[in-house]
């Protein structure tokens, strides 16, 4: 999306596109002397009510970071538990998504997944494709660097005669996994870390970043409301200045 003078100072109380790094599941479980995977289960159970809250608030698009390109390096049993949880999440949540008009999309290099996981993803994407409510992106085997590199390579494949230096930022946006979606307005990271860990690197260029110590399984509607209230106070200038200050 092009940044225009009209966009500057635009006061939007609610983000159109919200992204969340759901961090702190492992610590939540460990604090309760439970296996880490139970923290992930508790974290997945958080998602539905927050999506419903976002729908009521008028958010158009939510992108969740469920599994990064780096997460394969976790212990094998945790990777397996996360895969099983993702499949279970899709099976369990698809009826609710369809009932609530939620459109589901998976972002990431999906070819690394088993055919079972890919089939579930395809089914959820296909069945929810014509829904006209909130767009839910779940990022799996996703990395921001992968997304940018993949966009450049796909653009080059489709424009074999064009010199790479003619590629413009707006054109590249059309080749990212989030093509056609609103720019990212707000990124929330729970769990006390203040970094974006290779999530939506290009898309986060002008996003507001909200970090909270709350562990993801404890991040409830009240916590989301607090993040939205903070977002509403931000003065977004997109690298420019208010007309009144010129
Ligand atoms: C980070 O917490 C969380 C993850 C790597 C996985 C996130 C996955 C879910 C919340 C469940 C799946 C969700 C969906 C929508 C299918 P961590 O393990 O790094 O926690 P820690 O920092 O406390 O160790």
Give 138-182 pLDDT, tens digit per residue. Answer: 999 999 999 999 999 999 999 999 999 999 999 999 999 999 999
For ligand 1, say whether the CB of 47 is within 6 Å of any of its atoms: yes
> Which residue is associated with the tokens 């089939």?
119
> How confident is residue 245, by pLDDT bands cut at 50, 70 and 90?
low
Q: Smallest Cα–Cα separation from 19: which of 221, 220, 235, 210?
A: 210
Compute the distance from residue 121 Cα to the ligand 1 centre, in Å.
Answer: 19
For ligand 1, say whether the CB of 85 is within 6 Å of any of its atoms: yes
Compute the distance from residue 206 Cα to the ligand 1 centre, in Å.
Answer: 25
- Do residues 240 and 5 make contact, with C-beta atoms less than 8 angstroms apart? yes
Residue 4 has pLDDT above 50, yes or no: no
DSSP label of 149: H
Q: What pLDDT is stored for residue 238 in this prediction?
A: 72
Q: Smallest Cα–Cα separation from 193: which of 12, 65, 79, 49?
A: 65
Q: In Å, what is the CA distance from 78 to each residue of 32, 75, 105, 154, 187?
A: 17, 5, 24, 32, 25
135 HSE (CA, 13 A, CB side): 20
Q: Coil, strand or helix: which one is 40? A: helix
Domain 7-143+182-233: state its class: alpha beta
- The catalytic site residues sit at 23, 71
- Do residues 65 and 22 make contact, with C-beta atoms less than 8 angstroms apart? yes
Give 121-145 pLDDT, tens digit per residue. Answer: 999 999 999 999 999 999 999 999 9
Beta bridge partners of 20: 64, 188
* Burial tier of 245 (Cβ tally within 10 Å: 0-12, 13-18, 19+): exposed
The atom of ligand 1 lying closest to the CA of 68 is: 5
The atom of ligand 1 lying closest to the CA of 36 is: 18
Q: Smallest Cα–Cα separation from 97: which of 68, 120, 66?
A: 120
> How confident is residue 242, by pLDDT bands cut at 50, 70 and 90?
low
Higher-confidence residue: 225 or 244? 225
> How confident is residue 218, by pLDDT bands cut at 50, 70 and 90?
very high
In this structure, the number of other CB atoms found within 10 A of the CB of residue 126 comes to: 10
Q: Coil, strand or helix: which one is 151? A: helix
For ligand 1, say whether the CB of 86 is within 6 Å of any of its atoms: yes
241 HSE (CA, 13 A, CB side): 4
Q: Report residue 174: phi and psi, to 5°.
A: -75, -5
Compute the distance from residue 74 Cα to the ligand 1 centre, in Å.
Answer: 12
In this structure, the number of other CB atoms found within 10 A of the CB of residue 240 comes to: 14
**Cβ partners under 8 Å of residue 172, min gap 6:** 148, 151, 152, 155, 202
For ligand 1, say whether the CB of 25 is within 6 Å of any of its atoms: yes
- Do residues 231 and 210 make contact, with C-beta atoms less than 8 angstroms apart? yes
Q: What is the pTM of this model?
A: 0.92
For residue 129, what are its two tokens?
A: 């494709």
Q: Smallest Cα–Cα separation from 26: which of 217, 223, 187?
A: 217
């Amino acid at each position: 999306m092009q940044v225009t003078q009209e966009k500057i100072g635009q006061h939007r109380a609610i983000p159109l596109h919200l992204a969340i790094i759901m961090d702190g599941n492992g610590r939540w479980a460990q604090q309760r002397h439970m296996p880490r995977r139970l923290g992930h289960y508790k974290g997945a159970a958080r998602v539905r009510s927050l999506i419903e809250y976002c729908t009521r608030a008028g958010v158009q698009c939510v992108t969740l970071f469920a599994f990064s390109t780096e997460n394969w390096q976790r212990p094998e049993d945790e990777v397996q538990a996360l895969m099983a949880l993702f499949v279970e999440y899709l099976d369990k949540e698809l009826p609710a998504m369809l009932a609530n008009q939620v459109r589901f999309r998976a972002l990431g290099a999906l070819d690394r997944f088993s055919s079972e996981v890919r089939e579930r993803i395809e089914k959820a994407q296909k069945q929810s494709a014509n829904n006209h409510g909130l767009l839910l992106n779940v990022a799996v085997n996703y990395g921001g660097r992968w997304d940018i590199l993949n966009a450049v390579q796909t653009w080059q494949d489709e424009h074999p005669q064009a010199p790479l230096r003619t590629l413009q930022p707006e054109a590249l946006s059309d080749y990212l996994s989030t093509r056609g979606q609103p720019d990212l307005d707000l990124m929330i990271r729970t769990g006390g870390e203040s970094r974006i860990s290779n999530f939506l690197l290009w898309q986060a260029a002008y996003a507001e970043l909200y970090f909270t110590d709350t562990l993801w399984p404890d991040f409830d509607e009240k916590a989301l409301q607090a993040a939205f209230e903070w977002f509403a106070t931000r003065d977004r200038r997109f690298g420019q200045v208010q007309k009144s200050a010129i």
